Amino acid sequence: MLKDIFMGLSQNQFLNNAAKKYGLKLGAQNVVAGTNIEETIQSIKELNAHGISCTVDNLGEFVYKKEEAIEAKEQILKVIEAIHDNNVDAHISLKPTQLGLDIDYEFCLNNLEEIVAKAATYDIFVNIDMEDHSHLQPSFDILDSLSETYDNVGTVIQAYFYRAQDDIKKYKNYRLRIVKGAYKEPEEYAYQDKKDIDTNFIKLIEYHLLNGKFTSIATHDHRIINHVKKFVKKNNIPNDKFEFQMLYGFRKDMQLELAKEGYNFCTYVPFGKDWYGYFMRRLAERPQNLNLVVKQVFNKKTNTMIGLAAGAFVLGRLSKKKKRK
């Protein structure tokens, strides 16, 4: 029920627009690394000082116009220049839908190629983030096309998909981020039970650690992290073959601890005013995340906003059920 609420909220364009307008007043600066490139670079420098690298995501939702996709592309190109000019340890994460996948495939591919080409001139890696099942295969197709020319591109494997085992074998020679998955997917495409997802998550991690190019293990789950620590030690896997990843603002103490222990660590650094949908999906993915950040992120106004929004969502669903009856 709680997951459904957060997923519903993430797809609410009205609330997304309200969050963009009032985000800073609601404490959004604790959820994102900045609302502009300058603030974000400063946040990256602070993380780098603790031995933590970063992957930067220019947040954006509901992109259905070419001018919006072009604006997002130009912003990402500026981020690449800023990473190079400031000599920070960071790379790029991006979503094909923000660059026009829902508008036109070739248009999106051209936008992505321009980004990957620019990043390649500075030896900056670009990670293609995966989204819901309807965008999955087109995103892999984009990766295949870009890989014919560029080697600075990788992607994400989501453990809740049945096809994940096949995908990770196909793309084992790529740098991959392995995640559990953040969208609400139908049973036709994905595991629904948490135990099944966790089991597949561990299988994927172990396979790529043993057979893959480089593995980014994206989780806040200390049990998974401890399992990986034991696994790499048992199998003599060097630290330069993998990294742990967490989201900016989540489990800060553990991020610093892992970096101090000598593990490669990368923080997923989202920036911009369009933070709302991103954060709701993080809560849907793992509702416990709310407990991890509520004290350090939310003030009373933000709690009120989420409470009212959740209440409105639940009432809306109940109202729809009554109408059906």
Q: Which CATH number belongs to the domain containing residue 246 in this structure?
A: 3.20.20.220
Question: Residues with Cβ < 8 Å from 107, sequence gap 6 or more?
Answer: 66, 69, 100
Q: Report the predicted TM-score, pTM, of the whole model to 2 decimal places.
A: 0.83
Residues noted as catalytic: 129, 177
| Position with higher pLDDT, 286 vs 126 | 126
Q: What is the mean pLDDT of the chain?
A: 86
Same domain, residue pair 12 and 36: no
Per-residue pLDDT reduced to its tens digit, 207-227: 999 999 999 999 999 999 999
Which pLDDT value is given to residue 166?
A: 98
Same domain, residue pair 235 and 286: no
Candidates 258, 234, 251, 239; CA nearest to 297 is 251
Same domain, residue pair 116 and 218: yes
Same domain, residue pair 110 and 249: yes
CB atoms within 10 A of CB 6: 25
Domains of the chain: total = 2
CB of 197 closer than 8 Å to CB of 174: no
Work out the average pLDDT over 186-215.
97
Q: Is 27 helix (H, G, I), strand (E, B) or coil?
A: coil
Which pLDDT value is given to residue 212?
A: 98
Is 74 a residue whose pLDDT tops 90?
A: yes
What percent of the chain has pLDDT above 70?
76
Which pLDDT value is given to residue 315?
A: 42
Same domain, residue pair 248 and 320: no
**Among 232, 255, 274, which residue terminates a domain?**
274
Per-residue pLDDT reduced to its tens digit, 147-160: 999 999 999 999 99
Which pLDDT value is given to residue 128?
A: 98
Same domain, residue pair 21 and 51: no
Same domain, residue pair 83 and 95: yes
Same domain, residue pair 114 and 91: yes
- Looking at 54-63, 110-119, 187-196, 253-262, which range is the least confident one? 54-63
Which pLDDT value is given to residue 9?
A: 56
Which pLDDT value is given to residue 272?
A: 86
**Among 237, 259, 274, which residue terminates a domain?**
274
Which pLDDT value is given to residue 282?
A: 64
Same domain, residue pair 20 and 121: no
Per-residue pLDDT reduced to its tens digit, 14-71: 665 665 666 555 555 667 888 899 999 999 999 999 999 999 999 987 799 999 999 9
Same domain, residue pair 67 and 137: yes
CB atoms within 10 A of CB 320: 9
Domain that holds residue 289: 1-27+276-325
Is 296 a residue whose pLDDT tops 90?
A: no
Is 171 a residue whose pLDDT tops 60?
A: yes
Same domain, residue pair 198 and 93: yes
Which pLDDT value is given to residue 249?
A: 84
Per-residue pLDDT reduced to its tens digit, 241-294: 999 999 998 899 999 999 999 999 999 999 987 777 677 666 665 555 555 555
Q: Rounded distance, CA 310 to CA 163, Å?
A: 32
**Among 257, 274, 291, which residue terminates a domain?**
274
Same domain, residue pair 269 and 282: no
Work out the average pLDDT over 294-317.
48
Q: Rounded distance, CA 138 to CA 4, Å?
A: 26
